[in-house]
């Protein structure tokens, strides 16, 4: 996503792009989550007084492991992009905070690839569950309790923690 600043006319520039999961780079698959579909970008760029405002939406399907039963979970992810780009010669006059990111660009082109990759990677779910009533795995045999009940006995209390039962908070 490299944009020539001169291509951004008075009315702005709209980009509708699709990238495959391989666009993110990195051949190893994460144990936590990964992108499981094409990534769709709907970006609007507007130029005012040398600065470029980038706003839009990014959507994709993330695949994660359920934190309780380890089955695959599909999570629809939609990001909102708000970025203000200033020429690198300009001093950063923006204070941190608010809901907009601030970056600089150099020369006559803007490369949005690294920023967009970062936003997609940061939005991948760290913890997901397949259902609110997911029963998880058996602590004894490791069987998925959502699929079938196991014959393991109920867990016995650990005698080391028996004293804590009487504490009133």
- pLDDT tens profile 77-119: 999 999 998 887 654 454 445 567 777 778 788 889 889 999 9
Q: What is the 3-state secondary structure (H, E, C) of the chain?
A: CEEEHHHCECCEEEEEEEECHHHHCCCCCCCCEEECCCEEEEEEEEEECCEEEEEEEEEEEEEEEECCCCCEEEEEEEEEEEEEEEECCCCCCCCCCCCCEEEEECCCEEECHHHHHHHHHHHCCCCECCCCCCCCECCCCCCECCCCCCCCCCCCCCHHHHHHHHCCC
pLDDT for 163: 81
Q: What is the 3-state secondary structure (H, E, C) of 59-73?
A: EEEEEEEECCCCCEE
Categorize the per-residue pLDDT at 74 as very low, low, confident or very high, splitting at 50, 70 and 90. Answer: very high
pLDDT for 139: 83
Is it the case that residue 13 has pLDDT exceeding 50?
yes
Categorize the per-residue pLDDT at 30 as very low, low, confident or very high, splitting at 50, 70 and 90. Answer: low
Q: Give residue limits of the domains in the chain.
A: 2-132
Tokens of 38: 């094409």
pLDDT for 89: 61
Please state the pTM of the whole predicted model. Answer: 0.73
pLDDT for 34: 86
pLDDT for 1: 82
């Amino acid at each position: 996503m490299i944009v020539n600043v001169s291509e951004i006319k008075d009315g702005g520039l709209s980009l509708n792009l699709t990238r495959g999961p391989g666009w993110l780079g990195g051949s190893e698959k994460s144990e936590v989550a990964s992108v499981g579909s094409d990534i769709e970008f709907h970006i609007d760029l507007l130029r005012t007084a040398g600065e470029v405002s980038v706003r839009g939406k990014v959507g994709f399907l993330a695949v994660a492991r359920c934190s309780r039963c380890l089955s695959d979970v599909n999570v629809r992810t939609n990001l909102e992009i708000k970025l203000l780009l200033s020429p690198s010669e300009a001093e950063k006059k923006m204070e941190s905070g608010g809901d907009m990111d601030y970056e600089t660009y150099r020369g006559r082109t803007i490369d949005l690839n690294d920023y967009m990759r970062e936003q997609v990677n940061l939005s991948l779910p760290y913890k997901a569950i397949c259902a609110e009533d997911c029963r998880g795995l058996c602590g004894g045999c490791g069987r998925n309790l959502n699929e079938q009940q196991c014959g393991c006995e109920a867990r016995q209390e650990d005698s080391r923690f028996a004293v804590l039962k009487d504490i009133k908070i």
